[in-house]
Each structure stands twice: as C-alpha cells, then as structure tokens.
Amino acid sequence: MFIEPSLSGERRGWIEVICGSMFSGKTEELIRRLKRVKIANLKVEIFKPAIDVRYDENNVVSHDANAIQSTPIDNSQTILLLAQDVDVVGIDEAQFFDDQIMNVCQTLALRGIRVIVAGLDMDYKGQPFGQMPNLLSIADYITKLHAICVRCGHIANVSYRKTAEGGQVLLGEKDTYEPRCWKCFAEGADAKQII
C-alpha cells in the first residue's frame, strides 16, 4: 500500500487493523509492515500501552522475539501529541487503550497518516475486547489472523486462559494462555460456565 495523493494534492490517510487471538502473529505482522515502511524511508512512530511490559518496557516485541522500537504511553491522546510530521503510526495491543483510541486513529487518518493497529479482537471469554470492535468498525482494511488450536490442530479463534486468576486484563504468555478453536474452547471448564 502507498499513500495516494488526492486530487487537491493532499495525502490521504487510512486505518488498518490486524486482529486475532493470542499467538496468531498479530504483532509479527505489525512489525513486518512497519519495517517495510522504514525501508521506504517514511517517517514512523510506534506506540504501545505502558502496561505491556511482558518482553520489554519500550519495544514492541512478538512472541517470536522480533522487535521494533516504540514509545510506551498511558493515554491514547498522547499519540496525537507525539505523532507530528509522520507518515505512518503503528499501535500495538490496542485492546488495552482507553475509549479515545478510535477518535485518535480517525484524527490521524484525516491528517493523511497511515495508521496500523494490532490487537486482540476477543478476550479470554470469547467476548469483544476493549475498543477493538470500534476500531474494526472504522477500519479501511482488516486482517484477521488465526493461530492453531493446541488441542486439535484446527484454526484457533480464542485465547483460552489456563488459570482462574485475574480479571479481563491479565498479561501473560504461553504459561497463562493457549490458542483454541471454538469447539475446544467450549470444552474447557471455564468456558462451560461462560457459554
């Protein structure tokens, strides 16, 4: 994709959303797109929620240990302040941001910026997660990725939580979550109470 000038000569921005379950490659795809943008010598700013310190306090890091430099922030409005004179903005773990993230992404796109957002579309209960439904509704492009179910090998849609602790937000990795298809998710003890 490229930033296409309008008839008036102004750049046009858009919003891309990469979504799916844990271990589906969302962050990997975000990093891949952002590295290609950097190769094209476009100005890029990358953001992640400050609460996500699983692999690194500052960098966006995939489960496969690929990384790209980012700025951790507590509030989505900060993106508007820090994303000055850029061509592309990358945002990881969008489900953890506040209810202004949709407006922030729309404002950036209206400024002519390509916005690439990655996040979980569903929580561990298989329910829409945070602001992701709103971001999906305004996205110009959507990429839904799937993991592989660790129980049966089919396409996995849900991040099954292996522990009963915590609320909706519980940062974790393979020790806490595993990707499951809907059938294997429903067979889990916790899921039977949910469905």
What pLDDT digit, counting tens, does each position of 67-110 carry? 667 899 999 999 999 999 999 999 999 999 999 999 999 999 99
Classify burial at 39, counting beta carbons within 10 Å of its beta carbon; exposed 0-12, middle 13-18, buried 19 or more: exposed
- Do 41 and 86 contact (CB within 8 A), yes or no? no
pLDDT value for 193: 45
pLDDT category of residue 165 using cuts at 50, 70 and 90: low
In the three-class reduction of DSSP (H, G, I as helix; E, B as strand; rest coil), residue 114 is classed as strand
Percent of the chain scored above 90 by pLDDT? 63
Closest Cα to residue 116, out of 180, 42, 52, 56?
42
Pick the CATH number of 14-145 from 3.40.50.720, 3.40.50.300, 3.50.50.60, 3.30.499.10: 3.40.50.300
Q: Quick one: average pLDDT of 159-175? A: 62
pLDDT value for 3: 45
Domain locations in the chain as residue ranges: 14-145
* 46/57: higher pLDDT: 46
Residue 194 has pLDDT above 70, yes or no: no
Q: pTM for this one? A: 0.83
Spatial CB neighbours of 107, under 8 Å, sequence gap ≥ 6: 80
Catalytic residue among 29, 93, 173, 178: 93
Active-site annotation holds for 4: no
pLDDT value for 56: 53
Residue 157 has pLDDT above 60, yes or no: yes
pLDDT value for 1: 44
Distance CA 25, CA 20 (A): 8
pLDDT value for 166: 56
In the three-class reduction of DSSP (H, G, I as helix; E, B as strand; rest coil), residue 95 is classed as helix
Q: Which of 32-46, 62-76, 161-175 has the largest mean confidence?
A: 32-46
Q: Which of 53-67, 144-158, 166-180 has the largest mean confidence?
A: 144-158
| Beta-strand runs (E) in 88-172 | 88-91, 114-120, 141-145, 147-148, 155-156, 158-161
Q: Quick one: average pLDDT of 3-27? A: 81
Write the CA distances from 87 to 26, 53, 60, integer angstroms.
Answer: 21, 27, 19
